[in-house]
Amino acid sequence: MLEVKNLQVYYGVIQAIKGVSFRVEEGEIIALIGANGAGKTTILQTISGLIAAKQGEILYGGVDLQKIHPHKIVAMGIAHVPEGRRVFSQLTVYENLLMGAYTRTNKDEIEETLEQVFTRFPRLKERKNQMAGTLSGGEQQMLAMGRALMSKPKIILMDEPSMGLSPILVEEVFDIIKSINKSGTTVLLVEQNAKKALSIANRAYVLETGNIVLEGDAKELMNNESVKKAYLGE
């Protein structure tokens, strides 16, 4: 479905991503784990077309995304839930959700998706006319996820969805990610909470300073001694 080959990304003269290759198959949850500054966010932003790669390929259904504008990447079925939520704070919850559907034209289908989002996130329905900037952190995270779902994505890129949330909300967010995946959407998850990420993922890749140093079945990586020591606090 999505294949990244020998991806190299620079910020000026500093190489942030050093020849990274990985794949995401349809229907999977794939976790990218690693410490702060490992390059996880940079990879997602490059897939979304927000950052240009110096070298390598990002193939989605056989098409190289690097020659495509970001809004067209969304229209192709790739949605991005950015780190830090990035909701439009001066717009209402309802307006934020409609922004997520800007690549779609059929009003009836948009309305149908909106109802599906409200079913999945009842709190967003309750706060439909509230300014997004006044929501709690957890509610803003749900809004960011709901907004991404409004584009009817085939694959959703999630960047640190549990960041800054209380343990109860972290559980809730991960349950939502599982249910999004069960309903047919592939998930590429970047997450510092390695234990939670590995507990719901099919496969995972461990990133260190721009390189993939380990990859494999998520449950096996959970039992890997070096992963336990570095990322699981064991």
Contact status, residue 97 vs residue 114, Cβ threshold 8 Å:
yes
Distances (CA, A) of 140 to 7, 93, 155, 177: 31, 9, 21, 15
Q: Considering only CA atoms, which of 172, 16, 112, 18 is closest in space to residue 7?
A: 18
Q: pLDDT at position 234, please?
A: 62
Superfamily for domain range 2-231 = P-loop containing nucleotide triphosphate hydrolases (3.40.50.300)
pLDDT at res. 85: 81
- Output the six-digit token pair for 213: 């140093």
Residue 191 neighbours by CB under 8 Å, 6+ apart: 31, 32, 33, 158, 160, 161, 162, 197
Helix/strand/coil for 79: strand
The confidence score (pLDDT) of residue 232 equals 83
- Stated pTM of the model: 0.92
> What pLDDT is stored for residue 115 in this prediction?
95
Q: What is the mean pLDDT of each run of 10 residues along the chain (234 residues)?
A: 96 95 97 91 96 96 93 95 88 95 93 94 94 92 94 95 89 93 96 93 95 95 91 76
- pLDDT for 137 equals 87
Structure-token pair, residue 176: 């939502």
At 166 the pLDDT is 87
Q: How far apart are CA 229 and CA 166, in angstroms?
A: 24
Residues 6+ apart with CB under 8 A from 175: none
| Residues paired with residue 107 on neighbouring β-strands, in sequence order | none
Q: Where are the alpha helices (DSSP H) in the chain?
A: 40-47, 70-75, 93-100, 107-120, 122-126, 137-149, 167-182, 194-200, 218-222, 225-231
Q: What is the pLDDT of residue 179?
A: 93
